[in-house]
Structure 1
Amino acid sequence: MSSLTTTAPPYTTAVSDNLQQDARTLRAHLLARRLEEHLETMRQALEEARPLDALTLRPQALSAARLLREAVEDPSTLGMDSCEGASWSDEASLQEQRRAGLRDLERLRARLARLERGPWRTGADRERRALVAATLRRFAATALILALALGLWWALQSWRITERTRALEAARLVTAREALDLTALNAWQARRLRGAPLKSFLPDMSGLCAGLDLRAATPDHPCRKAWAEGRETLFGAATPPGGRPIAAPSEVEADPWGAPYVLLLPGDGPDRVASAGPDGLLGSADDLIREIP
């Protein structure tokens, strides 16, 4: 009779677990049937006064019992093992071993029935499930660590971007103020040298530049054109008599946000030069304004 020692491969799905349990159950039943047949053959041999035949069958019955005990994972000691030293000529010992085998068979079949009623988990199953659980725990821990690391990295990047944006905005404000100071100083110089109000030779841009985002003003927009012409006139008028006319520096072509600077020359109030600020809207809270001395 062939050996039934092949175990099912370790699957992970519920369907495969059921297939494994079915395979284990079938193998255990076949081993129980094999043990029963060996014990019955021993009985017949002993009844027919053939102790030598019974002795020959004893190792086969013992092997089947051991395989069955292993299959159902029974921790108890086999009764047949305690009778293993019986002599071939000792018919009483052979009978005792056969009866011990019947008791073993009954106990092992009862254990098999209990295993069949519930989920049959072998040691290999428990190890596999423990390994899967440990793997999932490691995966979850790794995922948590990665998520935390990613969160920290993202927070750091956000902080860096915020700081860079803040630093860039601060630099733009400094640049705009410097350009306004330069323009106001040259406007004062031009008015002093011309001996006339600024409005007499420079455009008042308050009406031309109101109500729109000056950052988006096109090159041919009246506001941008007025500043392009006005700044050249302003810096040219600030040149002392006999001096070489000064062209408007590149720093005053547009404010750091891309909008033209605006000359506010009302005639009945202080003359001023302004930047519409980060939002590009003249008259809003972020405007930068310098009064011309």
Structure 2
Amino acid sequence: MDVRAWIVERRRTALARARLAGWALLAILLVCGAWLGWREARLPRALDAELARERTAALRTRLKMLTHAAYTAKVAQNGLLADVIGTRDVLTPCIEAGDLRGLPPDAPCRALWEASLEKVWEAAYGPHAPLIPEKLRRDPWGSPYLLNTGEILCGMVGDWCPHDDIGSPGPDGVASTPDDVIVSAPMHLGPERVEAAKAAKAREEADKAASSGSGER
């Protein structure tokens, strides 16, 4: 075999191998680049999701503090929450207001919530209670909290007895949407109202039965 031809063939083989290795290296780099790009794109979403979970957990802690204050106020005054705050409906102005983030202090929704919170706080912890933390006045997105005095409806329709609820309108700032976060306060007088309604109905039926019995005689 000609030495020169052998050398040329060796060079061609080496060049082919080098090209193949180059293409393989390029493919590896492309795959690695795509993976790193996917990871970097996914990382902010993962961080956002983790931040959202932490924010929701912190929000639920705040709501539990508020519902505990509401229950304590009811027990202290031995009344319903609507009696404590002096109004039956705090929620409707907030539903009608739309986006609650950054409402001015004189907006009906925020003003009514602030006044209700002050009454609940004083009833629960006395006139010398510590100042209400700002985080209990507005949620993490700047909205006033949502207060629903549902327990006042106990006993009005059969055994139905809803809770008092305190919640946040969530990131969108709009009440009654899927991202709302709501915590219920323990009941105080609601079950008694249900039992009283049952007893009143039983007395009414007994009176009717007695009246019909006397009429037959």
Q: Which TM-score bucket, shorter chain as reference?
A: 0.5 to 0.7
Q: Quote the residue 2:91 is aligned against.
A: 206
Distance 1:181 1:158, change over 3 A: same
> What secondary structure does 1:208 align onto?
helix
Paired residues of 1:236 and 1:246 also in contact (CA < 8 A): no
- Residue by residue, what CA displacement relative to the aligned partner does 1:160-199 show, whole Å, maximum 9, x if unpaired? 1011101110011101111111100111111111222221
Q: Which residue identity is paired with 1:215?
A: R
Count of equivalent residues: 157
What residue number does 2:175 align with?
Answer: 282
Mapped partners of 2:104, 2:28: distance in 1: 51
Structure 2 partner of 1:187 = 70
Q: Distance in 2 between matches of 1:221 and 1:258?
A: 14
Q: Which residue of 2 aligns with 1:260?
A: 144
Distance 1:186 1:143, change over 3 A: same
Unpaired stretches in structure 2, ≥5 consecutive residues: 1-21, 155-162, 187-217
What are the superposed Cα offsets for residues 233-292 of structure 1, whole Å, 9 maximum, x if unpaired?
22121115xx72232123312222322111111431432111112332211222222221
Query: What is the rounded CA distance, in whole Å, between the counterparts of 1:183 and 1:192 in structure 2?
Result: 14
* Identity rate, percent: 27
The two structures, once aligned, show a CA RMSD in angstroms of 2.9
Q: Which amino acid aligns with 2:94?
A: C
Contact 2:141 2:171 in 1 (8 A): yes
* 1:64-213 aligned within 5 A: 150-202=33-85, 203=87, 204-211=89-96, 212-213=98-99
2:172 partner SS: coil
Equivalent in the alignment of 1:248: 132
**CA contact 1:236–1:247 (8 Å) conserved in 2:** no
Higher RCO (C-alpha under 8 Å, 6+ residues apart):
2
For 2:61, give the aligned amino acid. Answer: E
Residue of structure 1 equivalent to 2:17: none
C-alpha distance in structure 1 between counterparts of 2:29 and 2:107, whole Å:
53
Q: What is the one-letter code of the residue matched to 1:276?
A: P
CA–CA distance in structure 1, aligned partners of residues 131 and 73 of structure 2: 13
SS in 1 for 2:101: helix
Q: Is the radius of gyration larger for structure 1 or structure 2?
A: 1
Structure 1: state its 5+ residue gaps.
1-137
SS in structure 1 of the partner of residue 119 of structure 2 = helix
Determine if contact 2:145/2:168 at 8 Å carries over to the other structure: yes
Alpha-carbon distance in structure 1 between the residues aligned to 2:109 and 2:25? 60
Query: What SS is found at the alignment partner of 2:94?
Result: coil
1:183-239 per-position Cα deviation (integer Å, ceiling 9, x unaligned): 001111111112222212425321111041222534432212222232222212111
Conservation of the 8 A alpha-carbon contact between 1:217 and 1:224: yes
